[in-house]
Amino acid sequence: MTAAFEALPRLIRILAVLNLGLMAGFFFAFANPTMPGLARTDGPVFAAAMQSINLAVRNLPFFIAFAGPAALAALAVLVARPRWPWLMALLCYGGAILVTARLNIPINEAIALWDPAAPPADWAERRDAWMQANWLRFALTAAGFLAAVLGLPAGRLEARR
């Protein structure tokens, strides 16, 4: 039991890095090539595709993957030394969550109300705003991933003492 308990902080750090990498990859996959591909379509195709994607992403595995980096980075702040990489990871990913809540979700909610056959006149502007916000989510999550990676070597050195 003691060995398993002592291994828990390292496991938390490893899972945090993996989960941050997963979400950085997810946001990047939307930033390039998904959204540029959808940007080449017309309004009705874009609206129908986004409505379908936004319905499909609402599932338990995605929720766990989306919430996981914040929870794991917060736990790592409590158990890891030094704490600064994990605090940076938590702040960066927290910023990505804020961007999602303040920018992407409101646009998604507006898109959900569109008639795909006749999207509003400003559909391209909303698409572009969503894309810019997604690039910001990617950058914040990638920065959090990098910070967490920097926190891993400290865990190995700590374990050798």
Tens digit of pLDDT per residue, the chain (161 long)?
Answer: 577 667 899 999 999 999 999 999 999 999 999 999 999 999 999 999 999 999 999 999 999 999 999 999 999 999 998 999 999 999 999 999 999 999 999 999 999 999 999 999 999 999 999 999 999 999 999 999 999 999 997 544 444 44
Q: Which two tokens stand for residue 77?
A: 């702040």
**Cα–Cα dist 43/98, whole Å:** 27
**pLDDT at position 6, please?**
77
CA gyration radius for the chain?
19
**pLDDT at position 3, please?**
74
Cα–Cα separations (whole angstroms), residue 32 to 5, 28, 109, 132: 41, 6, 22, 12
Please state the pTM of the whole predicted model.
Answer: 0.92
Give the residue extent of every domain in the chain: 2-160
**Cα–Cα dist 90/145, whole Å:** 10
**pLDDT at position 153, please?**
76
**Cα–Cα dist 27/22, whole Å:** 9
**Cα–Cα dist 118/54, whole Å:** 18
